[in-house]
Structure 1
Amino acid sequence: MLQQKDLKEHLKSVKRFFLLDQGDFIVHFMDAAAGELRKNSEVVSQLRLSSLLELALRTSTANADPFKDNLMVVIFQFDLISQILLVLRAGSEDEPNNVLPIEDKNLSGFEAFCLDYRVGWPIDLVLNRQVMDRYQMLFRHLLYCKHVERLLCNSWILGKLARKCDNLMTTWFTTAFLLTQRMLTFIQHFQYYMSVEIIEPAWHNFFKRVDQVSNLDLLLDSHLHFLEVCMDDCLLASPDLLSLVGKISVACVTFANFIQHLAFSTTGVDLSSSGESEQCIIYLSRHSSVVDKPLLHDPTPSSTLGLTINDVKYAPLEPATCSIESMITKITIEEFGRTGLSNDMTKTVANFDANFNRMLVELLEKIKQYAKHQSKLLSLVSRLDFNDFYTQFANSEHSLNSHCDQVKILHENQINYNSFLQTNSVSDDEDYI
């Protein structure tokens, strides 16, 4: 199998495509398929995505891969968490094997898209369904992180352009793009941790074992061990950690779309000169509800659904429009400047900032607990909190909560004391009478 069937080359191809070993092909694909992947998963064209994937493969370094034609596009109707639970349930003796996950009709194309790899006998003994399911889960996880990073990068670029507008030199605007930078730092450090510190060393150890094993069973065990290590250390085997990462990712995507809607209004066409003032009505609430968003539900606007961010409602666009510019509802520069001076905008950005900080602090605290048994996770903690910013934030929050608790206790004691005095006063009067 190793000599005649090019097993090692097949393994390299799977790593290249599913673990984004050479990620230029996925960048080309996401550029070409962005409009399609923004749609709801039920209306995404699998045929169109297959054509765009083939185009991306032919125009990238993946064109030299001898097994690139083995790839095929898959559109799942359930999210990553459901797939993980399905795989874990399949290995449990207490659960029936015919239980299927509940379909999610609110998935975006970015969440539903995945790859599959077709091989024949005897390679399919090694790249079997159990193995490919784990590769697919890792791919969906890495792809979504890449999607979040690209959105934040676009927001950062738009922010640089929007800063040329004098109306935007306000406190909330500076705070917003500082928050964008911190979100981008988080997702880039997280991707580096998974790709360089987890996947690469584990792959190196597994690939050395391929030449050392003496039978197929040992090869399968080594392969599954490699995948289990990757899933454990990439947080896929810890539902509570993955849930927090999903919430933080959703917060990043929501905030990136929020910034892009505002920044495009200053870098797009000048509506005031055309005589048509297309303005969207912005309703801003004081409290962000992003943490209540279901795990890994992508709030990226689609061509059929309107976008709501913090009660900010953007009207849906026509199905025929799919470019990035057409996904954004324009408002005039004058209206944008007035919005930037409103207190509601400042509160909205502050809510995003506070929610992001709290979720990241919670993630770091949980990772520290898991690090007692998985020491590799300490590297992720040191990366995400390299300057103790979130540690100081957690300490300040703890001090504030402690102070509030003390004030509350003093207030309750004062109420009890006043009630005691009134009771004793009434008793004395009764005795006197």
Structure 2
Amino acid sequence: VLGITLESEETLRTKLANQPKNASVHLNLMQWHLKWGELSKAMDVLKLAIEAIPEHGWQFQEQLGDLQWKYAKDQHAAEARYREALKGNPLAKRALFHFGMLQVWRGRQEEAERLFQGAVQAGMLRDTLQRPLNVLDRSLPARGLWDEELLALPAVSGTVEQLRENLPVIWAEYLKWNRTRAQDAEADKEGLVDPHASGRWLHFWVYHPRFERGVWNAACHYKTPQLCKLLKEINNTAGGIRILRADFDVLEPGAKVRPHCHPTNQELLLDLCLRAPRQGVSLVRSGKEERSWAAGAIQVLDPSYEHQELNQGKSGQTDSGMPDVDYSLELRHFYEEQGKLDEKSSEIPSILEKWKGREEKMIRELRKKYSGDRGERILLRLLIRHPGLKPTRTKDKTNSQTSSRGVPEPGGRGGLTVHESADEL
């Protein structure tokens, strides 16, 4: 991979005039413009490089695709650039993975499958559905959604038990944060939400080590002191898991997160469901497997496998009652949770009569009125180091070419390592 060293623009342009076929100089100048937010100039540098060094044109087309996707947010333009890169090199890794993913989003599944099968045959992948761009550790198990047997592994089961025991505290801190500082929620920035969907995908970042305004911030959020204490305890447990990132992950009704893959299989998502809409309308799909969410459920997912999430909201729900549900008992439990059972107990028969034939709508309206439930799917989502991964001591924060969800990072140095020490809770 070509190294990139930032110098002054004048110095770089002088070098470029003297060495027009030096790919590193072109890339350094591109990176210089990106540093100062000059996207159009960065693109112009790459276009000039395509003309000056046609034998490496596919590499610059690939870089242009990354710029179009990440910075310009123009996926159609990115798709065109990746297509050109693949003409020059059918196995250009970033172009192949991103172009193939775009084909999935466009509904061109056969074209995507052809590309990914080619990558498997070339040894770039071991499965068309598992497509980590940066790191594929073949010593780790090939499994998207984990089953109960894997959840029972000692390193995972202890954490699962701790999360379940502390669910009321976790939920209380989320509710308070959402009530007092709802504006802290960060909407999806990576273009993964279906633009035609009606709902949003939001993140209340509990722990998210990253650069903010040029400063590295690895602090756990002050709004969740008890949860932060718990996460630190988990990280300090010998033989346990290592938490790399944590957030309250909110998927609004109607939202759809498009299929995507994380860039490494050395990390997992461990999710605790805090709230989910009724009738199983909030789903996670990984490969050919699909599971619905219910409050209290825990799932572990290898996100290097193609996966998507959706909350169908009312479009997937019925208003009428379900035949296997005792709504009288449901109401008693609900009012008991709200501390209103003594007040409402005698009214339950009349309430049921009023909502006869619309019992599911009744429950939704009650949850909305008393607990602010608007049908969101809310998770505590932990990004964790794969328990089968051997420890590493590196502290490098800047060596990934993609974000944690696989969105291209132009000019990165490639590879991904798990951070320790300064980046830990």
Q: TM-score range by the shorter chain?
A: under 0.3
Instruction: Normalising by structure 2, report the TM-score.
Output: 0.27
**Which is richer in strand?**
2
Greater C-alpha Rg: 1
Structure with the larger helix share = 1
- Normalising by structure 1, what TM-score? 0.26
